[in-house]
């Protein structure tokens, strides 16, 4: 009679090692896939947050445009650029009047960025969209509205401004007008 066996054969150990290696490789691939998916989701969320914050900032800046028509506060609009006076948030926690210049800049071969410069020299990147980029000005909302390609009046700013990126349009109402 033979005694009991107290261990594994070399073949059993090799089979166990091969199975463990296959399991580790499969788990590593799964972990990498989960990590890449999490990174993709995080980047998409960041891009959506950035777009929402820039739209909110643009709406606040353009919507707070001065409604008075003094020479210094003049609202001057062209198809690709606007200059006006608005109320800007300052680091001290309140708002001060500031001169704003919004213009389109190339952001690649088929896209444009709406870039704002305030009188302090700070540059703000508001929106990136499909080219071409253009701006339209709403004179009056009566009877379906009348839109203009330029705004050159010292009397008052337009009722609203439309920023057009390819087929996307963002309309921003200016001030509280009852």
Residues 147-173: what's their mean pLDDT? 86
In a domain, 114, yes or no: yes
Asked whether residue 2 is assigned to any structural domain, the reply reads: no
Q: What are phi and psi of 158, to 5 degrees?
A: -70, 170
The more confident residue out of 37 and 92 is 37
* Residue 153 falls inside a structural domain: yes
Domain assignment present for 134: yes
Neighbours of 91 (CB within 10 A): 5
C-alpha dist (Å) from residue 65 to 75, 109, 152, 157, 178: 8, 32, 15, 8, 16
Q: Which residues make Cβ contacts (< 8 Å) with residue 100, sequence separation at least 6? A: 61, 65, 82, 83, 84, 85, 86, 88, 116, 117, 118, 119
Answer whether residue 1 is part of any domain. Answer: no
Per-residue pLDDT tens digits for 35-46? 899 889 998 898
Instruction: Tell me which residue range forms the domain holding 86.
Output: 8-178
What pLDDT does 145 receive?
Answer: 84
Report the distance separating Cα 134 and Cα 164, nearest Å: 5
- pTM metric for this prediction: 0.70
Number of independent structural domains in the chain: 1
pLDDT value of residue 3: 61
- Does 65 have pLDDT greater than 90? no
Mean pLDDT, residues 49-68 taken together: 82
- 90 within domain boundaries: yes
Cα-Cα-Cα-Cα dihedral sign, residues 26, 30, 35, 37:
positive
pLDDT at 178 exceeding the cut of 50: no
Instruction: Tell me: pLDDT of 122 over 60.
Output: yes
Residue 122 domain-assigned (yes or no): yes
Among the listed residues 144, 138, 140, 167, the one whose alpha carbon sits nearest the alpha carbon of residue 77: 138
Burial of 156-178, coded b for 16+ CB within 10 Å and e otherwise, reads bbbbbbbbbbeeeebebebeeee
Q: Would residue 142 count as lying in a domain?
A: yes
């Amino acid at each position: 009679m033979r005694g009991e066996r107290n261990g594994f054969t070399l073949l059993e150990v090799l089979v166990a090692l091969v199975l463990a290696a296959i399991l580790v490789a499969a788990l590593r691939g799964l972990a990498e896939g989960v990590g890449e998916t999490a990174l993709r989701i995080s980047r998409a969320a960041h891009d959506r947050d950035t777009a929402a914050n820039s739209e909110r900032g643009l709406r606040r800046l353009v919507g707070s445009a001065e409604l008075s028509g003094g020479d210094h506060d003049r609202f001057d609009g062209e198809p690709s650029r606007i200059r006006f006076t608005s109320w800007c948030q300052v680091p001290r926690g309140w708002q001060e009047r500031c001169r704003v210049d919004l213009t389109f800049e190339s952001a690649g071969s088929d896209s444009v960025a709406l870039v704002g410069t305030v009188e302090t020299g700070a540059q703000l990147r508001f929106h990136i969209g499909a080219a071409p980029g253009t701006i339209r000005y709403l004179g009056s909302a009566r009877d379906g509205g009348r839109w203009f390609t330029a705004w050159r009046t010292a009397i008052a700013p337009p009722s609203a401004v439309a920023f057009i990126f390819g087929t996307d349009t963002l309309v921003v109402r200016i001030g509280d007008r009852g």
